[in-house]
Amino acid sequence: MRAPSSLQPSERNPRLVEQRSEDRTVWFTETVGHEPPVARERWFNRGGRTYRSWDPSRSKLAGALVHDWRGDIPEPGERWLYLGAATGTTVSHVADLVGPEGRVYSIEASVRPFGRLLAFAERWPNVLPILADARAPERYSGFVPLVDGVYTDLAQSDQIEIALANARRHLRGSGKFLLALKTSSMGRASSAMEHLAIATETLGRSFDLDRSVHLAPHHRAHYFLGGRPRRSLFDPASGARSPPGSRAR
Ligand SMILES: C[S@@+](CC[C@H](N)C(=O)[O-])C[C@H]1O[C@@H](n2cnc3c(N)ncnc32)[C@H](O)[C@@H]1O
């Protein structure tokens, strides 16, 4: 692919570059891995670096950027725990954002996507695939250190509880928390807005949340939430570890 004109590094992460036009912005990440493409994305070279297009309809984090997500994103050198890695589409871009010094511990419970995740990770040296149920974080705590960020994209009715259990066990007190909420997985008894309100209230007890964004039409019935831990996340009454130092807000 020929390099797009007028690329700008993002102020939020130099490994994320933006191409702005009057009516839209397109994003690319500087790759850590090698071809072939992970999900039919376009690759190009520019100034001795190789970039990959980031499709907002294939990745909820890219969708969140399109919908003006102002909260945290992964940054170079960070370690992330990623729940619901599937075949690695978004994992690959998170891994690009944290760069070669960062790590993405990628949890996936289904054997079939995990096989493809393993094959992909051979080309992305900072991705560590782990075949496990994210409902049991204690089973992989021996492989996952304290991390700078937890990213959750599980599409399960108990996605919030799973994310909280993992953040309590693995997230640093000053860490980042991102969650792609699929409201249609949370039952038909409540509307999407009611599910979002419940999720915001539940997570708001443990995190200082940023303004959530709706991911439609790129991802139907999905919202993107995130924030930084409050001290209450690590409250011993919740069965959690003690907060690391005084860094939790
Ligand atoms: C919506 S897909 C994730 C898509 C992926 N995050 C991406 O953007 O490329 C959800 C994934 O979560 C996995 N999953 C669901 N429940 C899980 C659990 N309890 N533990 C680990 N993985 C789980 C599913 O097998 C599926 O691959």
Residue 110 in contact with ligand 1 by CB distance below 6 A: yes
pLDDT of residue 3: 66
Ligand 1 atom nearest the C-alpha of 89 is 9
Cis ω on the peptide bond leading into residue 217 (within 30° of 0)? Answer: yes
Whether residue 206 lies inside any domain: the answer is yes
Q: Is residue 248 part of a domain?
A: no
Q: Which helix (H) or strand (E) holds 159?
A: helix 159-170
Report the nearest-CA residue for atom 11 of ligand 1. 84
Task: Indicate if ligand 1 lies below 6 Å from the C-beta of 108.
Answer: yes
CA atoms within 13 A on the CB side of 217: 0
Confidence of residue 248 (pLDDT cuts 50, 70, 90): very low
| pLDDT value of position 249 | 40
Q: Is the CB of 113 under 6 A from ligand 1?
A: yes
The answer to whether residue 178 is domain-embedded is yes
The residue whose C-alpha atom lies closest to atom 27 belonging to ligand 1 is 86
CATH of the domain at 178: 3.40.50.150
Q: Which domain holds residue 138?
A: 60-234
Say whether both 72 and 145 belong to one domain. yes
**Residue 65 confidence (pLDDT):** 96
- Alpha-carbon span 52 to 27, nearest angstrom: 9
Q: Which of 92, 153, 181 to mutate to test the pocket of ligand 1 (most atoms within 8 A of CB)?
A: 153
**Nearest atom, ligand 1, residue 133 CA:** 20
Strands (E) across 62-170 are located at 79-83, 103-108, 127-131, 147-152
- pTM of the complete model: 0.94
Q: Determine if ligand 1 sits within 6 Å of the CB of residue 86.
A: yes
Check whether residue 13 and residue 111 sit in a common domain: no
The answer on pLDDT for 99 being more than 50 is yes
242 falls in which pLDDT band (50, 70, 90)? low
Within a domain: 1: no
Find the helix or strand (DSSP H, E) in which 49 lies.
Answer: strand 49-54
Ligand 1: atom nearest CA of 110 is 25
Question: Residue 88 in contact with residue 38, Cβ under 8 Å?
Answer: yes
**From residue 176, how far is each of 33, 74, 230 by CA, in Å?**
24, 8, 11
